Structures are given as structure tokens and as C-alpha cells.
Structure 1
Amino acid sequence: MAAAGPPENKLKGRLKQSVCRWTLPKQSVDELCRTVKRIGFNAIDLVGPEDWPTLKAHGVVSSMCNGAELGLKKGFAATEFHDELVERYTRHIDLVADAGYRNLICFSGNRNGMDPRQGLSNAEAGIKRILGHAEKRGVVLVMELLNSRVDHPDYLCDHSAWGIELCERIGSDHFGLLFDIYHMQIMEGDIIASIRKHHSFFKHYHTAGVPGRHEIGANQELNYPAICRAIRDTGFDGYLAQEFTAEGPDPVASLREAIRLCDV
């Protein structure tokens, strides 16, 4: 396999960055690995085991692994999915650990009329069934915060307070939250204050512009350089992954600019 060549620019690298695989669907995984290396970073989010050999061949990290989940709607808040989720996550935790990776995504699932307090208790019980195995194998289970107003109607883990209480109940460094900046701007705002106050619960970050989920530059309402400085200043040593859909004609150019903006 031919090397990607030297990076175009040397990044400061004080904040580790990644890109979500689904946001550049026209590129194969092999092509995307070459793209990220050329831009100057080395991680891709939301990649499953079938693509890890390709990442490894390029020296690219799977910064957030997936493939154990039952989708976004069927998650740990509903007890009827627990047995299947436990089986899938137990197997996937081993795959992640054996590959030398760390983060594995999970979801609350939808409310479906459930009281949020009951959802908390259910999610706590379900996650604790796999937590010991995750701790033993050095894997971190990371539940994503999603908005329920625009993109994911009825999703339960849609406010940081709900997710933080779940973290407090579980009480392990091997469980935390994926703080999606786009989603939480829609649901609650106050992004930088939340990061400063609750960063110990946030294991991973995602980006996108608000409104529209497009590029993160000047044509949307979030100040990403300031947000990234706030993340950096907490001492965060995980990944911030770009998760926007490019509205411009050149998605790679949009990604390159996003990486530059967040390289604080």
C-alpha cells in the first residue's frame, strides 16, 4: 500500500482531532485515511471492526469505535433491549481492546413514553452489566448526547444534565459522555460554561455548525476556536471529531479549514 505522503501543514496538535467516517461518504476508507494523513491528523471516528485493518495499514487511529449498538432508537434506557445489548457489547469490548483501541459508542435510545427518571435507572442497570468487562479490558463506554428537537425526535439522552447524572450513578472512569457541540447548542446552549463545569464527564467531542449541521466557520453561530480553547484548557487528552456535512463544493477543503479552526 502506497504511503499518503507528507502532511500539507504541521498542526499544533494541542487538541487531538478526528473526522467522522460517515461525513465523507464518497471516499473509501482507504481514501479517507490518505486524506486525513495529508491534512495532518491521524484519526477517524465511527469506524467498525471491518475497517480497522485499513486504518492500521495507514497508521490511523479509530478514535471512536462503533458496531455494537442497535441503532440510535434502541438503547440502554429500555430494558427489553438489555440482553441483546449486553451480548453485543461484551463481544465488541473484546474486539476494541484486542485492536488496541479505547472508545466504544453507546446510546440511550428513545423515550417511547418512558419517564426520564425510569430511563436513568434502566440505563444504569444495563450499563453496569457490561461495565466490569469494559474496566477489565481498558475500554471506555461513551454515550452520545443528541438533540431531540431537529434530528432525533424522542431521543432520551438529549440534555447534559441527564447524561451527567447517569455518569454519577455509574461512577466509573470507563463510562462517560460524548458531548456533541452541535446537538447541545440546539438543546441548551451555554457550551463553553458546560465544558468548563462538567468536562470531567466528557470523554469525547463532536462538531458541526448551527443551524444546518454544515461547516463550522463564520456562517454559523458557534465560535469554534473559542470552544476548542476552552476544551484544551481543561487538560482534555481525548479527541474532538469533525461531524459536519459539507455544504461547499469541496468537502475536503471544508474539512481542512475545520481542522485549522480547531487547531488551537
Structure 2
Amino acid sequence: MKRRNFIATAAAGSAGLVSVSALSNEGPTQKDFKLKHNINHSVCQWCFNDIPLEEFLSTLNELGIKAIDLIGPKDWPLLKKHNIHCSMCNGAEISLTEGWNDPKYHEQLIQNYTEIIPLVAEAGYTNLICFSGNRRGINDYVGLQHCVDGLSQIMPLAEEHGVVIQMELFNQIDHPDYMCDNSLWGIELCRRLGSDNFKLLFDIYHMQIQEGDIIRTIQKYHNYFGHYHTAGVPGRHEIDETQELYYPAIMHAILNTGFKGHVAQEFIVTWEDKIGALKDAFLRCDV
């Protein structure tokens, strides 16, 4: 037990991020929770959806976290009430599997995004998520052009309203057959669209599984990435010592690119103290 305590203490001290209590699934105390805010922190609400949204927003205010991800128009008034920014809006997509790579969904998607884009701008938000959809036998090059054909019809409206459409990257283990499953495919889509109002949502968890080399990818292609999600690999759980990614180094790489957007925690909590786990994750990313 003495050896185990020594290892935990040394790990916390060398990282300079969390206390031993945080590493033992208890989380930092409110007194210990102080952020530098060099990183614009956010969190995906669905990971904590067993906590009523208004209660969760109050907790974020207590923590000094001023943004939340993946909230649609019906809940924006609640965010306004608590002065919490929606750092990634949703509500225009059909589903993860039915997306822009298949022309049969274009009519509905164009209608949805045409309605939602002005609402995002009116609410004072910027980012709106979208998805490629599954291949369903569609060739990647053909699907890429289908995405260009469809998205090109909403990009002038997005540009007019200052809204950034962001397509999320997924891995093939959790989302088999999803087309936008690697950075280079998504980057080629960005290049063909040729708009600063179209970016990629770079999910670090997904891309570690799919392609690895996270830091080099961020350094080389950061201009195409408009938003980041975090989670531990394997399992999409906490970003502590139970997983293989070292998030402080990744956050430094993001910070060094001059990124001014948000980094949102998107891990599935296993700790009994869920808010303690969230605090721990924020501290690890607060470089």
C-alpha cells in the first residue's frame, strides 16, 4: 500500500494537475478547483443527461465553465437564463447515419439547415454540427462529391449569418460504415467546399482509435479543425491514468496552434462522483 500511494503521489506531482484524491475517483475539492482558462472549456450534455439540464447548468456556473455542447433550439432559453454559451449546436441533422453523402437526404437536410442556421446566429452562437452519414455501398469519392453538392447549397447562408458548419469525425469501431472516418477525407471535403465556415469537429477519442498520431495531425491540419472533443481510449471513459492518451500534451499542441475555439469533454463517466470526474478532466486539460 505504501508503494501504491507513492506511485499515485508521484504521478500527480509530475503532471502538476490533480491531487491524489482525484486519481482515486473522488475528484478535486471545490477549493482545489482553479482553472487558468487558456483552454476554452466545454462539456457534452449527453454524457451527464441523468442530471437535469438546469441543475447541470448551475453546476457549470459554480465551476466557472461557461459553455456546453450539443444543445438544440428548444433548450437555448435555459442556457440564456444561466448565461451558458452553446459551443456546438445541434438540431438540424437527421441522424449520424443519414447524412450529406447520400443525395436522397439532401432535400430534408437543406430544409433543416436553412431553418436552423438563422436561429443559431440569432441566439448568438456560431457552431452547428453535421454528419457525413454511413456509406451503404457508396464509394468514398462519390460520397465526398455528394457532400460537396449538398453542403454547397447551404454554405452561402451559413457565411451570411456567420455560422460554422462542422462535420464530426468518427471511428469505425463505434460507428461502423460511417464515411467521414479519417482526417484526410474530411480535410479534402473542407478543401473542395473552400469556405472558412466549414470545419471538422476533431474528436480526439475517435481519431486515436481510427488513425492515431493525434498531436502531429493537430499540428499539421489544425486550420481545418474548428472544435475538439475528448474522451479516454479505450472505452470512452475518464481521461485519467486508466487510458492511453496524455491529454496535457495534446492540449499544449492545440494551444500552440493559436486555437481560440472550445474543447469539450465527451467521456462516459464511471466514477461514482460524476461531477468530480468532470472537474478532474477539466484540470487535466487546463494547461
Q: Fold-level match, TM-score > 0.5?
A: yes
Counterpart AA for 1:154: D
Matching residue of 1:193: 216
Q: 1:251 aligns with which of 274, 278, 283?
A: 274
1:222 and 2:264 aligned: no
CA distance in 1, matches of 2:49, 2:274: 10
CA distance in 2, matches of 1:7, 1:121: 53
Matched residue of 2:157: which SS?
helix
- CA radius of gyration, larger in: 2
Counterpart AA for 1:167: C
Matching residue of 1:39: 63
Cα contact 1:15–1:263 (8 A) shared by 2: yes
Gap runs ≥5 in structure 2: 1-29
Gap runs ≥5 in structure 1: 1-5
1:133 and 2:157 aligned: yes
**Comparing 59-68 with 26-35, which one deviates more in the overlay?**
26-35
How many Å apart are 1:9 and its aligned residue? 3.7
Matching residue of 2:18: none
How many Å apart are 1:233 and its aligned residue? 0.6
Q: 2:204 aligns with which of 173, 181, 190?
A: 181
Q: 1:159 aligns with which of 141, 164, 182?
A: 182
Matching residue of 1:170: 193
CA distance in 2, matches of 1:167, 1:199: 12
Matching residue of 1:56: 80
CA distance in 1, matches of 2:72, 2:31: 25
Counterpart AA for 1:19: V
Compared CA separation, residues 83 and 7, structure 1 to 2 (3 A) = farther
Counterpart AA for 1:160: S
Counterpart AA for 2:275: V
Deviations, residues 132-185 of structure 1 (Å, cap 9, x unaligned): 00000010000000111x211100000000000000001111001000000000
Matching residue of 2:145: 121
CA distance in 2, matches of 1:77, 1:8: 47
Identity of aligned pairs, percent? 54
Matching residue of 2:124: 100
Matching residue of 1:25: 49
Deviations, residues 166-205 of structure 1 (Å, cap 9, x unaligned): 0000111100100000000000000000000000000000
How many Å apart are 1:26 and its aligned residue? 1.2
1:75 and 2:102 aligned: no
CA distance in 2, matches of 1:82, 1:139: 19
Q: 1:203 aligns with which of 219, 223, 226?
A: 226
How many Å apart are 1:25 and its aligned residue? 1.3
RMSD: 1.1
CA distance in 2, matches of 1:165, 1:174: 15
TM-score (norm 1): 0.96
Matching residue of 1:263: 286
How many Å apart are 1:10 and its aligned residue? 3.6
- Structure with more relative contact order (C-alpha pairs < 8 Å, separation 6 or more): 2
How many Å apart are 1:8 and its aligned residue? 7.2
CA distance in 2, matches of 1:104, 1:232: 22
Matched residue of 1:215: which SS?
coil
CA distance in 1, matches of 2:144, 2:50: 38
Aligned residues: 258
Cα contact 2:33–2:283 (8 A) shared by 1: no
Deviations, residues 36-62 of structure 1 (Å, cap 9, x unaligned): 111221111000011111111111000
TM-score (norm 2): 0.88
Counterpart AA for 1:17: H
How many Å apart are 1:35 and its aligned residue? 1.4
Cα contact 1:7–1:38 (8 A) shared by 2: no
Matching residue of 1:3: none
Counterpart AA for 2:80: K
Counterpart AA for 1:216: I
